[in-house]
């Protein structure tokens, strides 16, 4: 799909950022940074625990459970944020003296999402006195009621948007609850439970708990925080950036969990030079593969492992699951694209909202499929797979400017009973409906998407940080940009653009471009790599290309060079 490159607004020239490279000043200013103080990512700059409403109440309940030797059960979620939240909670509680703490992660195919009544029945095998949900629970009204009926206290820690009715939990910690004073609402589930554990440690300290015990250093868990935050693709507001920055620093220094080190190794990533993108595109998919295809407990056990050899075995199993996930995904994507090509003649014929279903598709992979199709056609996509009892389960991915959960809210209001269940965020959501009502849903979905977009937002726009003067295009600038992160959702890695003469061109594996280019009008020769760009730009390439790119430090056989990582290219 052709994209329109639009330069980000030069909101300021960076007057409040003295001493920085002019290109970095421009990048930071366009992301709302107005002073050097905002770039301080030290732990002292973290938002205080007292702002997280409910954390103190939750800490009091956990302290009582630990003091009385009660059984604590941590109920996790089956994605990377849930896995890191679960591992963090178990490790920290055990370090603080909890002797009877275990975890449970529901199999998504048998029990669905969150604390359901069925999960409570399963949990009763462990006879817990206290259940702590991590990265889920805000919508578990029936599940919390079932736990209450058994006399089990429930602490809900979550970051998802609440529905109209809240569960009657003993304590609830969620910055997105109405009236919660925590200012940065984008914190991931792993961040929420981290704040609860900080409040617990402070309470234990006040009670003199650590006079006869070693007080844990909560900084030991920052690698898990970085991984879960990046994996959940939450906006990197300053507080999240601090957590990710500090976690990456621990990983690079070799002070991370053996499981994270093993996952980086099987993914072929250099631990000493790890970036946020490595967590998001190499580590997280391997953990997520367990929850998508098998059992997320494999991923959690990998994160909990203390023995590097054990961690390596589990990481290799996760790597194999990820290969299987990619194989399944490739087949589903081809089916989806063939379906679209058979039904539709051109992009102008596409509905505003794409709704896809095949009875052979895998529930665990439809989210990735929806994301891939969304990227190709720049439309909000829902991919469905068969569920149980005549239902189908969908995973939705949206485009900027369309809040997908609001779309589902409007559909539910317009046609009561059409959706059995739904929930999610602005950019991603999940839903369930009766299979025989799919066509009814498809029509209503397209209508609501069209109305909310108002005919806008379907053009593929690529935001650029402008052009780099030829004299500034250097290895030094590439290193400064790499160090200037962490980059991610809401604080995107800089993309630049410009016109380049193609000096050399060759294909790699018939799908990647390896180029040598020169800025049009003069400048140094620069290597460029375009992964999966051959289909979009088949050979032979024109003499002059318009290229959108990221600066990359390429290390190969001891040589270190500047390389442009091509994001998009077309004839100039």
Q: Are 542 and 515 in contact (CB under 8 A)?
A: no
Q: Are 428 and 374 in contact (CB under 8 A)?
A: no
List all residues 6 or more positions away from 48 whose beta carbon is below 8 Å from its beta carbon.
Answer: none
The C-alpha R_g of the chain, in whole angstroms, comes to 24
For residue 252, pLDDT over 60 is answered with: yes
Position 328 in a domain:
no
pLDDT band with cut points at 50, 70 and 90 for residue 345: very low
Q: Are 162 and 174 in contact (CB under 8 A)?
A: yes
d(CA 517, CA 525): 6
Q: What is the mean pLDDT of the chain?
A: 92
d(CA 144, CA 172): 11
353 and 226 in one domain? no
**How many domains, the chain?**
3
Q: Are 373 and 356 in contact (CB under 8 A)?
A: yes
pLDDT band with cut points at 50, 70 and 90 for residue 13: low
Q: Given this model, what pLDDT does residue 348 score?
A: 57
pLDDT band with cut points at 50, 70 and 90 for residue 421: confident
Position 533 in a domain:
yes
CA distances for 465 relative to 32, 547, 564, angstroms:
13, 13, 14
| Average pLDDT score over residue span 83-93 | 98
Position 29 in a domain:
no
Show the DSSP H helices in 31-133 as ranges.
Answer: 55-67, 80-95, 108-111, 117-123
Pairing verdict, β 428-434 and 391-397: antiparallel
504 and 407 in one domain? no
Last residue of a domain, one of 422, 453, 484: 453
210 and 95 in one domain? yes
67 and 137 in one domain? yes
| DSSP string for residues in 111-160 | H-SSS-HHHHHHHGGG--SEEEEES--TT-HHHHHHHHHTT-EEEEE--S
pLDDT band with cut points at 50, 70 and 90 for residue 161: confident
pLDDT band with cut points at 50, 70 and 90 for residue 9: confident
Q: Given this model, what pLDDT does residue 344 score?
A: 57
Residue 501's closest CA among 451, 546, 562? 546
Position 20 in a domain:
no
Crossing angle of helices 258-266 and 297-304, in 10° steps, is 120
CA distances for 391 relative to 118, 181, 383, 404, angstroms:
18, 39, 14, 21
Last residue of a domain, one of 385, 418, 453: 453
Assign residue 485 the CATH number of its domain: 2.40.50.460
DSSP code of residue 535: T
404 and 502 in one domain? no
378 and 230 in one domain? no
Q: Are 157 and 150 in contact (CB under 8 A)?
A: no
467 and 445 in one domain? no
d(CA 330, CA 314): 24
Position 39 in a domain:
no
472 and 424 in one domain? no
Tell me the per-residue pLDDT of 376-417, one tens digit each, with 9 for 90 and over. Answer: 888 999 999 999 889 999 999 999 889 998 999 999 999 999
| Average pLDDT score over residue span 513-520 | 96
How much helix, strand and coil, in percent to the nearest 5, is found in the chain? Answer: 45, 20, 35
Position 458 in a domain:
no
| Average pLDDT score over residue span 17-29 | 91
List all residues 6 or more positions away from 243 whose beta carbon is below 8 Å from its beta carbon.
Answer: 46, 191, 194, 222, 225, 226, 229
532 and 447 in one domain? no
Last residue of a domain, one of 410, 433, 453: 453
> Which residue is it, tokens 């299979």?
435
Residue 196's closest CA among 164, 169, 214? 169
Crossing angle of helices 189-206 and 80-95, in 10° steps, is 10
Residue 15's closest CA among 46, 36, 38? 36
Supply 388's token pair: 């149980």
273 and 140 in one domain? yes
470 and 367 in one domain? no
Q: Are 57 and 200 in contact (CB under 8 A)?
A: no
Assign residue 360 the CATH number of its domain: 3.10.310.30
Tell me the per-residue pLDDT of 184-242, one tens digit each, with 9 for 90 and over. Answer: 999 999 999 999 999 999 999 999 999 989 999 999 999 999 999 999 989 999 999 99
The residue segments making up the domain with residue 475 are 463-571
364 and 307 in one domain? no
Pairing verdict, β 526-530 and 559-571: parallel
Q: Is 528 helix (H, G, I), strand (E, B) or coil?
A: strand
Assign residue 214 the CATH number of its domain: 3.90.1640.30
Instruction: Report CA torsion sign: 277, 282, 287, 289.
Output: positive
d(CA 369, CA 537): 23
Position 332 in a domain:
no
d(CA 497, CA 500): 9
Position 490 in a domain:
yes
């Amino acid at each position: 799909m052709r994209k329109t490159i639009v330069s980000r607004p030069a909101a300021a020239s960076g007057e409040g950022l003295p001493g920085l490279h002019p290109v970095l000043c421009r990048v930071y200013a366009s992301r709302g940074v107005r002073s050097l103080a905002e770039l301080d990512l030290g732990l002292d700059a973290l938002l205080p625990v007292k702002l997280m409403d409910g954390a103190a109440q939750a800490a009091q309940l956990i302290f009582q459970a630990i003091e009385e030797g009660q059984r604590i059960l941590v109920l996790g979620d089956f994605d990377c944020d849930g896995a890191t939240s679960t591992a963090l909670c178990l490790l920290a509680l055990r370090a603080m003296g909890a002797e009877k703490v275990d975890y449970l992660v529901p199999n998504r195919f048998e029990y669905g999402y969150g604390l359901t009544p069925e999960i409570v029945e399963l949990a009763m095998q462990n006879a817990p006195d206290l259940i702590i949900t991590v990265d889920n629970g805000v919508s578990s009204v029936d599940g919390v009621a079932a736990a209450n009926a058994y006399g089990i206290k429930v602490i809900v820690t979550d970051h998802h948007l609440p529905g109209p009715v809240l569960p009657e939990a003993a304590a609830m910690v969620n910055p997105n609850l109405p009236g919660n004073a925590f200012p940065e609402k984008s914190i991931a589930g792993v961040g929420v439970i981290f704040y609860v554990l900080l409040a617990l440690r402070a309470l234990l300290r006040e009670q003199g708990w650590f006079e006869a015990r070693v007080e844990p250093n909560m900084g030991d868990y920052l690698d898990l925080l970085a991984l879960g935050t990046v994996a959940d693709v939450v906006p990197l507001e300053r507080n999240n950036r601090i957590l990710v920055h500090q976690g990456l620093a621990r990983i690079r220094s070799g002070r991370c969990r053996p499981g994270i080190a093993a996952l980086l190794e099987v993914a072929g990533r250099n631990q000493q030079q790890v970036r946020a993108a490595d967590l998001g595109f190499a580590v997280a998919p391997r953990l997520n593969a367990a929850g998508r295809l098998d059992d997320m407990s494999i991923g959690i056990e990998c994160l909990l492992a203390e023995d590097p050899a054990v961690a390596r075995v589990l990481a290799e199993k996760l790597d194999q699951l990820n290969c299987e996930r990619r194989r399944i995904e490739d087949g589903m994507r081809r089916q989806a694209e063939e379906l679209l090509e058979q039904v539709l003649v051109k992009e102008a014929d596409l509905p505003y909202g794409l709704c896809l279903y095949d009875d052979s598709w895998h529930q665990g992979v439809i989210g990735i499929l929806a994301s891939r199709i969304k990227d190709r056609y720049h439309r909000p996509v829902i991919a469905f797979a068969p569920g149980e009892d005549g239902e189908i389960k969908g995973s939705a991915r949206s485009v900027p400017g369309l809040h997908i959960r609001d779309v589902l809210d409007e559909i539910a209001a317009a046609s009561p009973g059409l959706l059995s269940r739904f929930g999610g965020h602005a950019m991603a959501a999940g839903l369930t409906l009766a299979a025989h009502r799919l066509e009814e849903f498809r029509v209503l979905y397209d209508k609501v998407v069209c109305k909310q977009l108002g005919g806008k937002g379907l053009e593929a726009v690529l935001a650029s940080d402008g052009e780099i003067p030829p004299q500034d295009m250097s290895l030094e600038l590439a290193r400064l940009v790499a160090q200037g992160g962490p980059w991610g959702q809401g604080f995107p890695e800089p993309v630049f653009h410009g016109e380049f003469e193609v000096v050399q061109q060759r294909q790699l594996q018939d799908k990647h471009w390896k180029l040598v280019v020169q800025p049009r009008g003069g400048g140094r020769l620069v290597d460029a790599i375009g992964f999966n760009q051959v289909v979009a730009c088949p050979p032979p390439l024109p003499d002059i290309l318009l290229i959108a790119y990221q600066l990359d430090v390429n290390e190969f056989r001891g040589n270190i060079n500047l390389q442009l990582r091509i994001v998009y290219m077309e004839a100039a």
